[in-house]
Amino acid sequence: MPASDVEQFVELCHKGARAFFDISDDVAIARAPARLDLMGGIADYSGSVVLEGTLAEAAIVGLQRRGDDRVRIWSHGATRHAFDERFEMQLSAFRGDGTPISYQEAHALFAAEPQTAWAAYLAGAFHVLMAEGVVDEFSHGANILLSSDIPPGAGVSSSAAIEVATMYAINAAYGLELAGLELARLCQIVENRVVGAPCGIMDQVTCALGQQGKLLALKCQPHDILGYHALPPGCAVFGINSNVKHSVGGSHYTRTRAAAFMGHRIITHQLGSDPYGGHLCNISPSEYRQRFFELLPGRQRGSDFLAAYDDTIDQVTKVQPSELYSVRACTEHPIYENARVCQFIQLVDEAAAGRQKALERAGQLMYASHWSYGKRCALGASETDLIVRSVRQRGAAAGLFGAKITGGGSGGTVAVLADESAWSEVEAIARDYERETGIRPDVFRGSSPGAYAYGCATLSL
């Protein structure tokens, strides 16, 4: 268990942040790790099975209840990323005439000031808990200290880790007794409705319920944990961060997601009902090819779609009339990705049983997923392509089985399936990448427990 980062956080609380807290009251400390998306990625919003691991890097939150309704947040080190470190507000700002303000109004509270917009990931938890009826109102505000060594924009869910650590600390400090999946669902609402980023739920579930050294299989309909899978002996998953900034709230991701839901709407309109429960991934690849391939337009203007079908069922993206959408390709990706993930899990289990060639076959599925991100969904990047190409060129002979872009794509991190002994090869790829691009990558190695497995500590100042 990675005690060092929590020990450093405790030292920060005792020394640098001592004046920030009231020394007469305890501080609840929660920790949530970054996640590494091995397979599934953006198919989560279409109901896919995804396979996720946790990283050693984490967000740590110390939360202390106050006597008034003020929330004071200190994001320690935020100035490294050109943000203000401090944010304050009153919880009464979340309430209108005796009821919680709308999510649109809550979003506007944070979006107006870019230098402190990050506070939505933390303070937004209080609004969601009230808006969703978990808490009628909070009579006590909080002092909140955040420290994170997860690089933002790396595609390893720095935002979800912050949300989960904050919500888990609130859960402990206010005695809410939230179950793990419910907490993850609430954290997704923070990101979708308060922050305004249209992510699926795999990030929050992994940060909350991931296990050290294991891969979490999650069926995103909406969030059914299928189990945890151990990597074969001697096998590891590494991450190479291209340091090309990724954003789930970016236009490419939003357009890709909207196009997939457009495809879903066209299919169900043709059928006259939705036998797939709102999830494209309940359509098999063979059924899609036989019944729907010809039905879907390759590209469609948003205005033409809206005139014919009115809207999609997605609650977090809207079809823009002036936008041109790649409907067929973006619909295909989650359908085929879901099939790849299920096959990948089977191959990992076979490899754990001693079938070495299964890892090479699993790696081929990663390469196929990476291709689909770039060619079907336009969520690739030349820098991540370079990393994947370097892994593939070295190949299984060097202990490198497969690689793919992770999460929302468009930069960020590449996940690498490899032998543990191939660490030197991964470092060599990182050095070659820096020489060719001039960008120094981060390399992720190791795993740590999710927030619930780690637990919540109580610190007396």
74: which DSSP letter?
A: E
| Bond prior to 198 in cis (omega within 30° of 0) | no
User: Is the predicted pLDDT of residue 78 greater than 80, yes or no?
Assistant: no
Cβ within 8 Å of residue 23, ≥6 positions away? 461
- What's the pLDDT tens digit per position in 257-293? 999 999 999 999 999 999 999 999 999 999 999 999 9
How would DSSP label each residue in 161-218?
HHHHHHHHHHHHHTT----HHHHHHHHHHIIIIII-----SHHHHHHHH--TTEEEEE
User: Is the predicted pLDDT of residue 165 greater than 70, yes or no?
Assistant: yes
The chain-wide mean pLDDT, for the chain, equals 94
pTM (2 d.p.): 0.93
Q: What is the rounded average pLDDT of the residues 120-135?
A: 97
100: which DSSP letter?
A: B
**Would residue 22 show up in a list of annotated catalytic residues for this protein?**
no
User: Is the predicted pLDDT of residue 42 greater than 50, yes or no?
Assistant: yes
Q: What is the rounded average pLDDT of the residues 356-375?
A: 95
User: Is the predicted pLDDT of residue 1 greater than 70, yes or no?
Assistant: no
| Cα maximum dimension of the chain | 68
Alpha-carbon span 263 to 278, nearest angstrom: 11
Alpha-carbon span 154 to 258, nearest angstrom: 23
Q: What is the rounded average pLDDT of the residues 109-119?
A: 90
Selected catalytic residue, list 5, 37, 69, 203:
203
Three-state DSSP at 55 gives strand
Alpha-carbon span 287 to 278, nearest angstrom: 16
Domains of the chain as residue ranges with CATH: 3-228+450-459 (3.30.230.10)
- What's the pLDDT tens digit per position in 210-247? 999 999 999 999 899 999 999 999 999 999 999 997 55
- What's the pLDDT tens digit per position in 418-434? 999 999 999 999 999 99
User: Is the predicted pLDDT of residue 332 greater than 70, yes or no?
Assistant: yes
pLDDT of amino acid 115 = 87
Q: Which residues pair with 58 in a beta bridge?
A: 33
pLDDT of amino acid 98 = 81
User: Is the predicted pLDDT of residue 79 greater than 80, yes or no?
Assistant: no
Quick one: what percent of the chain has pLDDT higher than 90?
86
pLDDT of amino acid 133 = 96
Q: How, if at all, do strands 224-230 and 214-219 pair?
A: antiparallel
pLDDT-wise least confident of 197-206, 306-315, 350-359? 350-359
SS3 string, 364-387, reads: HHHHHHHHHHHHCCCCCCHHHHHH
pLDDT band of 296, cuts 50, 70, 90: very high
User: Is the predicted pLDDT of residue 316 greater than 90, yes or no?
Assistant: no
CB atoms within 10 A of CB 458: 10
